[in-house]
Amino acid sequence: MSARADALAPAGAAGPAGTVGAARGSGRRPGRGSAGRRVGRRRTAPAIGGALATAYLSLVVLVPLAAVVAASTTGGPSAFWHAVSNHQAYAAMRFTVVVSVLVVALNIVTGTLIAWVMVRDTFPGKRFVNALIDLPFALPTIVAGLVLLALYGPSGPAPFDIGFTRAAVALALAFVTLPFVVRSVQPVLMELDREMEEAATSLGARPRTVFRRIVLPNLVPAIAAGAGLAFARALGEFGSVVLISGNIPFKTEVASVFLYGQIESDNTSGAAAVSVVLLVLSFALLLFVSWVSTRGQRRAR
C-alpha cells in the first residue's frame, strides 16, 4: 500500500494536496525525499522560506490581484453589476466558460491518452515527440493563432474551413492547453507500480477492468490537477484566439477580447469587474480540483 502512496506524490506536488512533508520538499524532485532528510529542514528553513514565499507571492500575485478587485469596485456595486450583467459581457463570459469546459473535457481524454502512449509504448522518435508536447507553451500564442488560421482558415490547405467560428476558438484553446494534462499525468503513470496491474490481471481482470479499477483511480488526482490548470488557462487566453475567432459579439467573442475592448474604450473599471468574475470562477474551480485530488489520494490509499 505504501508503494501506491509514494507513486502519488507527484500529483500531490502538482496540486495543493500534498502532505506537510511533500509541500516542503517540493523544490526537489517530488516523491524522492526520504522522511529523515525532511526532519532536519523543519526548524529554521520554514520561517525564512515562509517569509520569502509570502513576500514573493504578495509582490507577484496577491497585490496585483487585489488591485484588480479594487479597480472593479471604483464605480460602486451598481456599476460593477452593470458591467458584468450587460448582454455582451454575459454572452462573452458564457461562451468562454462553455468552450473552456469542452476543451478541458477533450484534454482529459486526449491528454491521458498521450501520456499513456508516452509512458507505456515504445516507438522510434519517442524522445522527439516527448519534447514536442511542450512546444505549445513556447510558441507565442499570437503565432499559434496565425498558424491555425493559415491552416484551417478560408485559404488554408485543409479541406474544411473553420476560421472565425466557435470551433476555431475551441481548436486554438486545445492547442495552447495541450501540455497541462499530459505533463501532470505522465510522471504519475511512470511511477505507477505495475505489479498491481499484473496482480489484477492474474486474478482474472480484463484489461479494461484493470484500467478502470486500478490505473484510473491512481490517475484521477493528476488528471484533475492538469484539467484545472488547463481550464484556468483557457478562461484567460487571448493571443491565440483573437485572430481566429473573428470577435463577433454574441458569437465568437471570448471574455478576454471583450475585456480588451473595454480597456481600449477606457472603461477600465468595467474590464476589471468582468475579470473579477473570471478570477472567482477560476479560483472556485481550482479549489474544487484540489478537493478532488485530496479525495482521490485518500481513496487510493
91 interacts with another protein by CB under 8 A: yes
248 interacts with another protein by CB under 8 A: yes
List 85, 206, 265, 280, residue binding another protein (CB under 8 A): 265
Task: Classify residue 77 by burial, with Cβ atoms within 10 Å: 0-12, 13-18, 19+.
Answer: exposed
d(CA 221, CA 9): 10
**Residues in the chain, total:** 301
273 interacts with another protein by CB under 8 A: no
Report yes or no: 104 and 282 within 8 Å, Cβ to Cβ: no
H/E stretch holding 54 reads helix 45-57
3-class SS string, 163-196: CCCHHHHHHHHHHHHHHHHHHHHHHHHHHCCHHH
List 16, 68, 102, 251, residue binding another protein (CB under 8 A): 251
d(CA 301, CA 259): 45
**Close Cβ partners of 22 (under 8 Å, ≥ 6 residues apart):** 9, 12, 13, 30
Task: Classify residue 133 by burial, with Cβ atoms within 10 Å: 0-12, 13-18, 19+.
Answer: middle
List 34, 87, 138, 195, residue binding another protein (CB under 8 A): 87
38 interacts with another protein by CB under 8 A: no
d(CA 31, CA 269): 45
- Nearest distance in Å: CB 84, another protein: 12
List 32, 49, 64, 280, residue binding another protein (CB under 8 A): 49
Instruction: Give the C-alpha distances (Å, rounded to integers) separating 229 from 15, 127, 238.
Output: 10, 25, 16
243 interacts with another protein by CB under 8 A: yes
d(CA 111, CA 116): 8
Nearer to another protein, 184 or 256 (CB): 256
Interface with another protein by CB under 8 A: which range of 6-14, 110-118, 191-199, 259-267?
259-267
216 interacts with another protein by CB under 8 A: no
d(CA 224, CA 22): 18
Report yes or no: 246 and 252 within 8 Å, Cβ to Cβ: yes
- Nearest distance in Å: CB 272, another protein: 13
Question: Which residues from 102-121 bind another protein, rule CB under 8 A?
Answer: none
Nearer to another protein, 18 or 270 (CB): 270
List 41, 102, 117, 294, residue binding another protein (CB under 8 A): 41
86 interacts with another protein by CB under 8 A: yes
- Nearest distance in Å: CB 9, another protein: 21
List 34, 36, 43, 138, residue binding another protein (CB under 8 A): 43
- Nearest distance in Å: CB 59, another protein: 8
Instruction: List interacting residues with another protein (CB under 8 A).
Output: 40-41, 43-45, 48-49, 52, 55, 82-83, 86-88, 91, 146, 149-150, 153-156, 163-164, 242-243, 246-251, 253, 257, 260-262, 264-267, 270
